[in-house]
Amino acid sequence: MTNSLPNGGTIHTMPARLEVYIQPRASKTELAGEHHGMIKIRIAAPAIENAANRALIDFIALKLGTAKRCVRLVSGAASRRKVLEIDGLTAEAIAAKLATRRGL
């Protein structure tokens, strides 16, 4: 990711990474605490035909107040353990936003 400076320079920033553990086919989509140091998320969608992955991206974008195009699944497409990349937010900002929504 590249940001332009007023004087014509640029700053290169890396997208933040977020490790999550998901539980597909839950009764509702919600944050569910932690699982082995990762944020646990219950996803109502089944893990069939990428539905749970799409629902995860939608949910994270909504919780972080960012566009869905800024959230990408980079690892774990067929696993419960997933790594997401999020553009436009720092790791600290992501942690703060998710912590306030989990009541921590």
Q: Kindly report, residue by residue over 26-41, the tens digit of the pLDDT.
A: 999 999 999 998 999 9
Report the CATH number at residue 34: 3.30.1200.10
Find the domain containing 81 and state its range.
16-102
Report the distance separating Cα 92 and Cα 64, nearest Å.
12
Does residue 2 lie within any of the structural domains?
no
Does residue 77 lie within any of the structural domains?
yes
Tell me if the pTM is above 0.95.
no
**Domains of the chain: total:** 1
What single DSSP character describes residue 79?
Answer: S
CB 20 within 8 A of CB 98: no
Axis-axis angle for helices 91-102, 51-64 (nearest 10): 90
How far out from the chain centre does Cα 76 lie? Answer: 13
Q: Kindly report, residue by residue over 48-57, the tens digit of the pLDDT.
A: 999 999 999 9
